[in-house]
């Protein structure tokens, strides 16, 4: 009787997480809107002009040359991270101004103008658009990371699925494992009840 009461109690506690898992599991299975939400936005590149020879620094682990609407770039990976050079002078290329960022980002938007729309404002390295998409510029890698309202919604579903409900990191780290422990306990109690019922039936 004690096992049955405990099984019922845990089952009631886990009702909300179970409904959350069913809902989020269904969404994760069909993945609606994932393609655009996690689309890899990259600067638009063009064929390199000329055959300028780049002599790599021995400290570079790898490097690549690209051409964008802003001109030519040399991107080199070192033990300390990526560096961005001007191939004409081989000096580190300074962070771009707002006009350069606008030109680079607007050119990249041409792959999917419906999603990215137009630039609304720029704050530091973050570009905000009139469609609600935010783009972070990593100048040293010459790369973008984009996320929109749809990305935020999907990330919220993942938090629901993994019982990260409070937004407090210390609590959310405990809630996930606690949920797994309760599910395991529920299963064990269910097996014990099934065995006990079968014995009584025999």
Q: What angle do CA 165, 167, 171 make, to 5 degrees?
A: 75
pTM across the whole model = 0.77
User: Which pLDDT value is given to residue 202?
Assistant: 64
Per-residue pLDDT of the chain (202 residues), as tens digits, is 577 788 788 878 888 888 889 899 898 888 888 999 999 999 999 998 765 678 889 999 999 999 999 999 999 999 999 999 999 899 999 999 999 999 999 999 999 999 999 999 999 999 999 999 999 999 999 999 999 999 999 999 999 998 888 888 888 888 888 888 888 888 888 888 878 777 776 6
pLDDT digits (tens, 9 = 90+) for 107-122: 999 999 999 999 999 9
Q: Is 144 helix (H, G, I), strand (E, B) or coil?
A: strand
- Most distant CA pair in the chain, distance: 89
Q: Are 161 and 147 in contact (CB under 8 A)?
A: no
Q: Are 15 and 183 in contact (CB under 8 A)?
A: no
Joined together, the tokens standing for residue 94 give 């300074």
Joined together, the tokens standing for residue 166 give 């409070």
Q: Is 123 helix (H, G, I), strand (E, B) or coil?
A: strand
User: Which pLDDT value is given to residue 1?
Assistant: 54
Strand-pairing partners, residue 147, are 134
User: Which pLDDT value is given to residue 74?
Assistant: 95
Q: Are 57 and 48 in contact (CB under 8 A)?
A: no
Task: Report d(CA 56, CA 202) in Å as an integer.
Answer: 81
Q: Is 120 helix (H, G, I), strand (E, B) or coil?
A: strand
Residues 6+ apart with CB under 8 A from 4: 193
Task: Report d(CA 151, CA 37) in Å as an integer.
Answer: 5
User: Which pLDDT value is given to residue 183?
Assistant: 85
DSSP 70-105: TEEEEEEEETTEEEEEETTTTEEPPPP-HHHHHHHH
The Cβ of residue 63 has, within 10 Å, a number of other Cβ atoms equal to 16
Which conformational region is residue 81 in: left (phi greater than 0), alpha (psi within -120 to 50 degrees), or beta?
Answer: left
Joined together, the tokens standing for residue 42 give 């990259």
Joined together, the tokens standing for residue 186 give 């529920």
User: Which pLDDT value is given to residue 185?
Assistant: 86
């Amino acid at each position: 009787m004690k096992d049955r009461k405990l099984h019922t109690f845990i089952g009631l506690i886990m009702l909300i997480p179970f409904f959350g898992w069913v809902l989020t599991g269904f969404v994760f299975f069909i993945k609606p809107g994932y393609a655009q939400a996690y689309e890899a936005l990259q600067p638009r590149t063009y064929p390199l002009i000329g055959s300028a020879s780049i002599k790599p620094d021995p400290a570079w682990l790898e490097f690549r040359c690209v051409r964008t609407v802003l001109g030519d770039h040399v991107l080199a990976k070192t033990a300390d991270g990526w560096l961005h050079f001007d191939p004409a002078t081989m000096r580190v290329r300074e962070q771009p101004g707002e006009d350069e960022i606008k030109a680079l980002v607007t050119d990249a938007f041409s792959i999917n103008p419906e999603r990215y729309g137009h630039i609304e404002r720029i704050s530091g390295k973050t570009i905000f658009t009139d469609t609600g998409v935010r783009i972070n510029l990593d100048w040293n890698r010459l790369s973008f990371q984009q996320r929109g309202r749809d990305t935020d919604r999907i990330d919220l579903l993942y938090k629901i699925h993994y019982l990260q409900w409070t937004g407090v990191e210390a609590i959310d780290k405990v809630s996930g494992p606690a949920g797994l422990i309760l599910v395991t306990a529920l299963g064990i109690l269910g097996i014990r009840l099934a065995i006990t019922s079968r014995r009584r039936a025999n």
